[in-house]
Amino acid sequence: MKKFLIYVDILGFKNLPEEIAKNTKFYEDTITENFFTKPFRKRIDEITKEENIKLTNGKSEIEGSKGSDNYVLFVNDIDRVFEILHKISTIKIPHEDYGYIQMEIAVGVKEIDESEDIEDWINRKKTKQFLHEDIINPYKKYKKEKDGKSTEETFIVITNDFYNELENFNKKKFCEEINYKEKHFYYVKKELIEREEKISDFLKEIRQSRSDFSGALIDRIFVKPDEYDEIKKSLKNNRIVFITGTAGYGKTYLAIKLLWEKYDDEGYIPRWISIGSGSEKEITEVAKELIDIEKHLKPKHIIYFEDPFGKTKTVYERRDVLRERIKAIINSVKNTKDCYVIITSRKDVFEKFKEESYSIEEIEKFEKELNIMAPSYSYDKRKEILEKWAEEKGCKWLKDEKLRNIVFDFIGDKGKLPVPHNIHDFVEATIEINDETELRKKIKVYSQEGEKAFADEITGLYKSDRKDRMLFLSFILVSENFEKEFIKQEYENLKEENFEDFEKILKEEYRVIPTIWGVGEKEILKFAHPSYSQAIPYVLEDVVCRKIFCNVLKELAEKD
């Protein structure tokens, strides 16, 4: 069982109580008790009344701390650690002429055997001593040698083990590594505490825990797509925006960025409503949220609906309810001052929803697309995303020029790691690799992963009742050299009664672009992105898609 330990004590200076005593005519002992000890104990009491916080009072138990009040807090959750650090480092001296009580704080982490008596473990003297003797005292001595005087300002130091726990924190920017007489620890700048406390509050508001894509890293990992300024402007002007695009292309992360900016810069209250994995329970919960949407649409609020139309198809049996709710959202935003709404959806699902909507034009004017065909992320931007994630995760290959160039050459092919999510997954899988052979193996694996992702997009078509699209795309999967008119003729021959017309599909099908080719300037149909054609082997693993594809192939063979 992992526990985070926070050692806290009032910094042992003597001049300030004496100075306050002169100004207030109280005795120094009274000042110390009423202006320092009591506010400190009161804040500790407030913290320990919260759930999952254990406490030991270390008064007079640590060598060199006789007469002081020092405590060790035992905390289960790392986010709570930063919340507590912020509260402890901002205890006000109850006098208008003075600021905060100066503190000495150390943070560590320990694994505790579940079979042990936790209360007995907490009360062991060595629990406090390892923080005090291993980092508190060494830091004081280090500062005195460096500055020529004892430190008189609040400081926070952390063990190497705790530093390694800060996976989703900006530790490299705000933590200073210190090696002093065989002691190794880190000094934490106060800016980190303030920033991480605000991020923790943001995550609570949107009901997310710390993870790579929850928003914990949003202010340093995010790379703007080309459409970012346009989307932000549209949200500002219309106060509602539909962000559509390919799966894994950064729609959710962009929405979180917009939420964070409104929260961080302007103090808006953010809300994130999602169907999650798409389970029946989650779908039902979102349906309730949509039905009672007005309770969220308030001034100074920004609401994010993630994939309300479903992941692969519209999820509600009564689609008329969803259509009416979207209409209600649009109207409510128009009538509610200072309220903003972001809605994301996969392009295919959103196109299907628009067909059934009360007003295509009304919705289309709010739609902004992240476009993999354009693309939204150029090579330079994909490289920047890759470098940021690799730096954040500490990839060993990033420090080797030859290996770094191999990876950057790899993504020079726009079909390799084409979407931000692929890039993140590749980085996660290569953190410890510093061998060329192993790196090239991973490159090959993740080339296939990207192709599989595009295959999933295509196979999802028939699953969302778009078998006509699957039939249409099968011709281009067979060959990207077929003329448009030839495909049109063969499609019309093979289509089923309820399939859409060829021209309508071609107009809406963003994966395919008409291209003039050859000496005779023939109009052929090609995939707009190479990853679609590279996905063929994985598309054909699906039984239904393989059947549709083989029917097309058979028909073409007979024509030949």
Residue where a domain stops, chosen among 355, 370, 385: 370
H/E run at residue 271:
strand 269-274
Specify the higher pLDDT residue, 234 or 365. 234
CB 434 within 8 A of CB 418: no
User: Do residues 91 and 37 share a domain?
Assistant: yes
In a domain, 8, yes or no: yes
In a domain, 446, yes or no: no
By mean pLDDT, which of 238-242, 357-361, 390-394, 522-526 is the weakest? 357-361
End-to-end CA distance of the chain: 69
In percent, how much of the chain has pLDDT > 70?
84
pLDDT tens digits, residue range 542-559?
A: 998 999 999 999 888 887
User: What's the pLDDT at 60?
Assistant: 33
Does pLDDT of 503 surpass 60? yes
User: Do residues 411 and 284 share a domain?
Assistant: no
Residue where a domain stops, chosen among 147, 168, 194: 194
Category of 37 on φ-ψ map: left (φ > 0), alpha (ψ -120 to 50) or beta: alpha
User: Do residues 190 and 313 share a domain?
Assistant: no
33: tokens are 């008790």
In a domain, 118, yes or no: yes
Does pLDDT of 316 surpass 50? no
CB 82 within 8 A of CB 197: yes
User: Do residues 137 and 19 share a domain?
Assistant: yes
198: tokens are 């605000």
pLDDT tens digits, residue range 51-75?
A: 556 666 544 333 333 345 788 888 8
Tell me the residue length of the chain. Answer: 560
Specify the higher pLDDT residue, 293 or 506. 506
Smallest CA-to-CA distance from 346 within 232, 453, 500 is with: 453
Distances in Å between the Cα of 513 and the Cα atoms of 375, 451, 474, 527 are 14, 19, 15, 6
Give the integer Cα–Cα distance in Å for 527 and 513.
6
Give the integer Cα–Cα distance in Å for 148 and 172.
27
Q: What residues contact 50, with CB distance under 8 A and at least 6 apart?
A: none
Centre a 10 Å sphere on the Cβ of residue 466 and count the other Cβ atoms it contains.
23
CB 187 within 8 A of CB 178: yes
pTM of the prediction?
0.76
Here the CATH number for the domain that contains residue 318 is: 3.40.50.300
Here the CATH number for the domain that contains residue 495 is: 3.30.420
Residue where a domain stops, chosen among 168, 194, 220: 194
In a domain, 419, yes or no: yes
In a domain, 448, yes or no: no
User: Do residues 389 and 289 share a domain?
Assistant: no
For the chain, what is the domain count?
4
Bridge partners for 70 per DSSP: 9
Centre a 10 Å sphere on the Cβ of residue 486 and count the other Cβ atoms it contains.
15
39: tokens are 């506010």
Smallest CA-to-CA distance from 41 within 68, 78, 63 is with: 68
Give the integer Cα–Cα distance in Å for 545 and 537.
11
pLDDT tens digits, residue range 415-470?
A: 888 888 889 999 999 999 999 999 999 988 888 887 888 888 888 887 777 889 89
In percent, how much of the chain has pLDDT > 90?
36
**Which amino acid does the sequence have at 300?**
K
User: Do residues 240 and 143 share a domain?
Assistant: no
Domain that holds residue 388: 373-429
Give 537-559 as a DSSP string: HHHTTSHHHHHHHHHHHHHHHHH
H/E run at residue 233:
helix 228-238
User: Do residues 381 and 365 share a domain?
Assistant: no
CB 202 within 8 A of CB 270: yes
Residue 96 is given by DSSP the state: T
pLDDT band at 126 (very low <50, low <70, confident <90, very high): low
378 three-class SS: coil
pLDDT band at 283 (very low <50, low <70, confident <90, very high): low
User: Do residues 526 and 402 share a domain?
Assistant: no
Category of 310 on φ-ψ map: left (φ > 0), alpha (ψ -120 to 50) or beta: left
Centre a 10 Å sphere on the Cβ of residue 548 and count the other Cβ atoms it contains.
21
User: Do residues 314 and 377 share a domain?
Assistant: no
In a domain, 451, yes or no: no
Here the CATH number for the domain that contains residue 147 is: 3.30.70
**Which amino acid does the sequence have at 173?**
K
pLDDT band at 394 (very low <50, low <70, confident <90, very high): confident
In a domain, 97, yes or no: yes
User: Do residues 21 and 125 share a domain?
Assistant: yes
Contacts 24+ apart (CB under 8 A), 258-261: 258/231, 258/232, 258/302, 258/304, 258/342, 259/202, 259/206, 259/215, 259/302, 259/304, 259/342, 260/202, 260/215, 260/218, 260/219
User: What's the pLDDT at 174?
Assistant: 82
**Which amino acid does the sequence have at 234?**
S
User: Do residues 188 and 263 share a domain?
Assistant: no
| Residue 120 backbone phi and psi in degrees, to 5 | -65, -40
User: Do residues 463 and 421 share a domain?
Assistant: no
pLDDT tens digits, residue range 344-384?
A: 988 877 877 777 665 666 788 899 998 887 788 999 999 99
In a domain, 443, yes or no: no
